[in-house]
A and B are shown apart, each in its own frame.
Chain A
Amino acid sequence: MSEFLGLLVFGLAIGSIYSLVAIGFSMIYRATGLLHFAHPDLMMIGGMVGYTLATRTSLPMPLLFVLSGLAVAGLSWLIDRFGFRPMRRQGALLNLIIATIGWSIILVNVALFVWGTAPLSYPEAYLPKGRVIGGIVIVPQNLAMLGVGLVAMVLLHLFFTRTVVGQALRATAENPVAAQLMGIRIERMMTLTFLLSGFLAGGAGVLVASIVYANFDLGLIGIKSFAAAVLGGFGQVGGAMVGGLVLGLVETIGAFYVSSAYKDIIAYTLLILILLVRPQGLLGAGRTRPD
């Protein structure tokens, strides 16, 4: 039982990381129609920046989260402003998607150049440590991650439903043309989308890199957040949150009870099945983005 509880917490903690990346991925998809292949690599850059900050300054974890988030938000904005926005005017979506693959390659190689090839472990103070309380191993780090993830999600939910800017963002995502007619400046909203999604990806990068390692191929973990976004139904923020948590749980429990070698295959097969059976996602209301 205690074993299962530990798995549950770990699964949800990993899941909340997937959620943070998946939310950004979904937001970008909704606002721009873009499948952003460089988004997981932005998460990776976040983990790297966090590593440098941790070794140089030994700031507390929450500050690392915020600072890396801000750095990656800036990067995300730069890529959108100078990479995507000029191409959006030409309007060929396929070309834009291929360009995001180009950005993914660029980010990976920049990381290789700056931080090298070896996996980097965060300093001792940041590493997860298990404590035995009443016969149950509790890893405070996992609980904290889950906490950070949940708090971020609640804040985002409030932002999207209770603030004018949040509602404008959702309107832009829903129907850019109609939003523009209502006087929403959609380019500004798209900028905001990239900033916010970059911030979440950067923060998530710190969380994941502190429990695994910081390395140029960390984006591979981020790719699973694509699956989370699909699970929740592309472009639904709430769905992306739930999708991430479900994926984290299924994967962790599947790896333990079925096979750890095949856990990624389990996650990906699940993804394809869900795409086929419920293209609108687990929570979707049968409505997809208009073509």
Chain B
Amino acid sequence: MTVSWLRGFWTPASAATVVALAAVPLLLGGSPYHLFLLNTIGVFAMLALGLQLVLGYGGILQLGYAGFFGLGAYTSAILTTHHGWPFPAAFVAAMVVGVGGAVLMCPIVRLRDVNFAMATFVFGLILELVYNQWSAMTNGPIGFRGIPAPTLFGLTVLEPQHYYYLIFVALVAEYLLIFRLLHSPFGTALRAMRENETACRTSGVDVTRVKVTLLLVSSAIAGAAGSLLAHMNGFISPPTFGWATSVALLMMVVLGGVRSLPGAIVGAAVIRLVVEQTSVLGQHSNIVFGVALVLFMAFLPTGLAGLAGGLSARMPWAARFGARSVTP
């Protein structure tokens, strides 16, 4: 069955990937640790995809993305814990508040390049400060505890393998949404804007509107991811939503490959796995990230997806298996 608006999405490779990912919990059995790791990767993959949309396809340096992740997490946590909202309502509210935050940020879209990047950076800092300082709502640096497990259709999602499917569905839905956006006239406008903003404006594209759309959509995504993280961990604290996370997300996009959707997911998986490993190694391990960021930017700015794309160009047979990055 091919739904027309998803034309181009279902290739043998993508179908196989979706089925394989759906089967992962069955293969892993009941190891809660691995499932938990996998779920965390899922949440960060959602964020990396959202940032890929803004940064990769929009060419906009959004340096405060983790702050919007926090908006969703705190909204969902506060509504379910203190006000007894059911999870689905809180989830939607998290997305709405994420969008609300982006609306506040909208005036800055008329800034260009460096000023815009600076404003997003500062916006992220402000949000992190608010999470730390507004103790009455967020419980400050100590963190927010006791966030309930989500209940859907009368069932409480407690088991990590069930939570996996919740995140999986959200991730696939997000992927399809972004895929669809990129293959619409909006996607064409994005490409034109990235190539030459002035020429794009003179051709009648409302660049401001394109940028606002990007910010709103990506912030809704961050809000949703925040809600999922909050209910998965049951505990949230400000550092998760600060500059360090914004940098980690940036690295996921860069490492996976700018302007590649599968790349963002792979980047999220690699970075989270490295974080897991290096937290065992000790406190100086972050230097790995710094060095990786510098080296990737200098020698492989297209990331892993670029590497895969380069390989498949040299080996045409590999392209049949889908080693081709999506670059509309």
Residues in B whose Cβ lies below 8 Å from that of A95: 297, 301
Per-residue CB proximity of B106-140 to A under 8 Å, as 1/0?
01100111110111011101100110010000000
Query: How distant is the Cα of A35 from the Cα of B116 in the complex, in angstroms?
Result: 11
B289 at the A/B interface (Cβ < 8 Å)? yes
Residues in B whose Cβ lies below 8 Å from that of A102: 289-294, 297
Closest to B294 in A: A102
Per-residue CB proximity of B279-292 to A under 8 Å, as 1/0?
00001101101111
A contact face: mostly helix, strand, loop, or mixed: helix
Residues in A whose Cβ lies below 8 Å from that of B301: 90, 92, 95
Task: Please state if A94 and B298 are interface contacts (CB–CB under 8 Å).
Answer: no
Query: How distant is the Cα of A234 from the Cα of B112 in the complex, in angstroms?
Result: 13
Per-residue CB proximity of A82-115 to B under 8 Å, as 1/0?
0100110010111111110111111111101100
Query: How distant is the Cα of A92 from the Cα of B247 in the complex, in angstroms?
Result: 19
Query: Given A106-B287, A109-B287, does the pair A275, B108 have CB atoms closer than 8 Å?
Result: yes
B contact face: mostly helix, strand, loop, or mixed: helix
Q: How many Å from the CB of B119 to the closest CB on chain A?
A: 5
Query: How distant is the Cα of A113 from the Cα of B291 in the complex, in angstroms?
Result: 15
Residues in A whose Cβ lies below 8 Å from that of B115: 230, 234, 275, 279
Per-residue CB proximity of A30-62 to B under 8 Å, as 1/0?
000101000000000000000000000000000
Residues in A whose Cβ lies below 8 Å from that of B291: 102, 106
Closest to A276 in B: B107
Q: How many Å from the CB of A261 to the closest CB on chain B?
A: 5
Per-residue CB proximity of A210-242 to B under 8 Å, as 1/0?
000000000000010011001000100000000
Query: How distant is the Cα of A275 from the Cα of B123 in the complex, in angstroms?
Result: 12
A159 at the A/B interface (Cβ < 8 Å)? no
B61 at the A/B interface (Cβ < 8 Å)? yes
B234 at the A/B interface (Cβ < 8 Å)? no
A272 at the A/B interface (Cβ < 8 Å)? yes
Residues in B whose Cβ lies below 8 Å from that of A17: none
Query: How distant is the Cα of A112 from the Cα of B291 in the complex, in angstroms?
Result: 15
Residues in A whose Cβ lies below 8 Å from that of B290: 102-109
Task: Please state if B286 and A86 are interface contacts (CB–CB under 8 Å).
Answer: no
Closest to B105 in A: A272
Task: Please state if A101 and B107 are interface contacts (CB–CB under 8 Å).
Answer: no
Task: Please state if A94 and B133 are interface contacts (CB–CB under 8 Å).
Answer: no
Closest to B126 in A: A268
A29 at the A/B interface (Cβ < 8 Å)? yes
Query: Given A98-B293, A112-B284, A265-B129, does the pair A86, B122 have CB atoms closer than 8 Å?
Result: no
The interface of chain B, by Cβ under 8 A from chain A, is 59, 61, 107-108, 111-115, 117-119, 121-123, 125-126, 129-130, 133, 198, 247, 250, 254, 283-284, 286-287, 289-294, 297-298, 301
**20 more CB-based (< 8 A) A-B contacts, given A97-B117, A98-B297, A223-B125:** A29-B114, A93-B113, A97-B61, A101-B247, A102-B293, A103-B294, A105-B293, A108-B286, A109-B284, A109-B287, A117-B283, A264-B125, A268-B129, A271-B122, A272-B122, A272-B126, A275-B119, A276-B107, A291-B112, A291-B113
Name 30 A/B residue pairs within 8 A (Cβ), A-sorted.
A83-B298, A86-B298, A90-B301, A93-B113, A94-B61, A95-B301, A101-B247, A103-B294, A105-B247, A105-B287, A109-B284, A109-B287, A110-B287, A226-B122, A227-B122, A230-B115, A234-B114, A234-B115, A261-B133, A262-B129, A264-B129, A265-B126, A265-B129, A265-B133, A268-B125, A268-B126, A269-B126, A272-B119, A272-B126, A275-B119
The interface of chain A, by Cβ under 8 A from chain B, is 29, 33, 35, 83, 86-87, 90, 92-99, 101-110, 112-113, 117, 223, 226-227, 230, 234, 261-262, 264-265, 268-269, 271-272, 275-276, 279, 291
